[in-house]
Amino acid sequence: MIGRYMSDLDKGDQLGPVEREVTPFLIREYAHAVEETSERHLGGAHQVAPPTLFHAHKLNLLHTACPDGTGPTARMHVVYSAKHHALLPAGARVQVTGRITDRYERNGREYVEMTVEIIDQDTRQVYATYVDTTLLSYRTGG
Amino acid sequence: MTEKWETGTQIVKRSRVMTAERMRWYADALESCAQDDGQAVIAPLNIHTSDEIARDNGLPARVSDGMVSTNWISTALTDVFGDSYLATGSLLTRFRRPILVDEKIDIQITVRAAEATPEGETLLTLDVACVKSDGEVATAGNATVVLGR
């Protein structure tokens, strides 16, 4: 259940909503870091976010729901799966919600699957649905 | 339009080296995006920026965040398909093997299928991968893009 750590999360837990503005800074900072050089992301009147910025929204959600981080050991992201529904423009105010859709063990390692939805606070337009799977500890038995 | 997209055609192949700086840029950007106050932030050390922390967690050395290779694929899809990918596309990646500092990575995107939709558009399904020099697949998955008439 939702507690201090990501390792506390269990199937059925609801995370958020977290509301935030997709600022031009947020988009530029992310785009520069991932060497995304399309001017669509770097500025101008029609600046839009790279779709992989959804991952940063997910982390924002996790920081809020699990303030003390991953748990006893480092987590590792293992699957990214995003479906885009609309361009995400700079200045949009979004609402990010998450749901733990699975928690399972495979080969002695524990995994958590989370489904995240990013929607416009005002219009309710869905920008993306994002499913993320994380390994809670790379070290077996950790 | 589907005939333009023959199964097996490689539409992207580009190479990059995974540097320690590329690993750190991404870690710092995530922290900056989390705080989002207009200031760049240096992230606390983690398995992507510290060999010591990575080894403490059972890894051979610092490893790339899987999102770095995912971003390389996503950028290539944006370069080729533009808004068709950004607005209505999808991308799935699985991180199968850790990528270490100085490993050379080939980013590959290949047509798996092209189907005509009832709306007269073309649904492209693509295989995507990041492959190491020795042929080991580090990141693999698929993407979809709907192209207009």
The structure tokens listed for B141 are 């998955």
Best CA proximity match to A27, nearest among A61, A62, A51, A2: A51
Q: Cα separation of A141 and B56, whole Å?
A: 13
Q: Kindly provide the b/e burial profile for residues B11-46, where b requires at least 16 CB atoms within 10 angstroms of the residue's own CB.
A: ebeeebebebebbbbbbbbbbbbbebeeeebebeeb
Under 8 Å between Cβ of B27 and B46: yes
Give residue B18's identity as a one-letter amino acid code: M
**Domain B1-18+64-149 superfamily per CATH:** Hotdog Thioesterase (3.10.129.10)
At A59 the pLDDT is 85
pLDDT, residue B2, reads 61
Q: Which domains does chain A have, with CATH numbers?
A: 8-138 (3.10.129.10)
Instruction: Give the mutation candidate from B86, B93, B128, B130 for the A interface (greatest A CB count, under 10 A).
Output: B86
Apex B20 CA angle, B19 and B26, nearest 5? 95
Give the span between the Cα atoms of A5 and A72, in whole angstroms. 9
- From-to residues of CATH 3.10.129.10 in chain B: 1-18+64-149
**What are the residues facing B129 on neighbouring strands?**
B108, B140
List the one residue out of B60, B40, B43 whose CA is nearest residue B51. Answer: B60
SS3 (DSSP) at B54: helix
Task: Check if the beta carbon of residue B36 is closer than 8 Å to that of residue A25.
Answer: yes
Each residue's pLDDT tens digit, A93-131: 999 999 999 999 998 899 999 999 999 999 999 999 999
In this prediction, residue A93 carries a pLDDT of: 97
Cβ atoms A42, A31 nearer than 8 A: yes
Chain B residues inside the 8 Å CB shell of A48:
86
- In Å, how far are A2, B39, B141 from B91, measured between CA atoms? 28, 30, 8
Computed on alpha carbons and rounded to an integer, the radius of gyration of chain A in Å comes to 16
B5 part of contact set with chain A, CB < 8 Å: no
B33-60, pLDDT tens digit by residue? 888 888 889 999 999 999 999 999 889 9
Question: Would the CB atoms of B87 and A20 count as touching at under 8 Å?
Answer: no
Q: Residue A141 pLDDT more than 60?
A: no
Q: Would the pLDDT of A71 be above 90? A: no
> What is the distance between the terminal CA atoms of chain A, rounded to a whole angstrom?
19
What residues of A are in contact with residue B78 (Cβ under 8 Å)?
A: 36, 38, 40, 50
**Chain A positions in Cβ-Cβ contact with residue B46 (cut-off 8 Å):** 74
DSSP result, A11-75: TT-EEEEEEEE--HHHHHHHHHHTT---HHHH-STT-B--GGGHHHHHHHHHHHH-TT-S-SS--
- Residue A142's pLDDT band, with cuts at 50, 70 and 90, is very low
* pTM assigned to the model: 0.93
- pLDDT for the residue A64: 85
Q: Cβ of B68 under 8 Å from any chain A Cβ?
A: yes
Contact A118, A52 (CB under 8 A): no
A70, A80, A77, A79: which is closest to A50 by C-alpha?
A: A80
pLDDT tens digit sequence for A2-56? 767 888 889 999 999 999 999 999 999 999 999 998 899 998 889 999 999 988 8
Of A136, A47, A54, nearest to A97 (Cα)? A54
Phi-psi region of A90 (alpha: psi -120 to 50; beta: other; left: phi over 0): beta
Residue ranges for chain B with pLDDT beneath 70: 1-3, 149
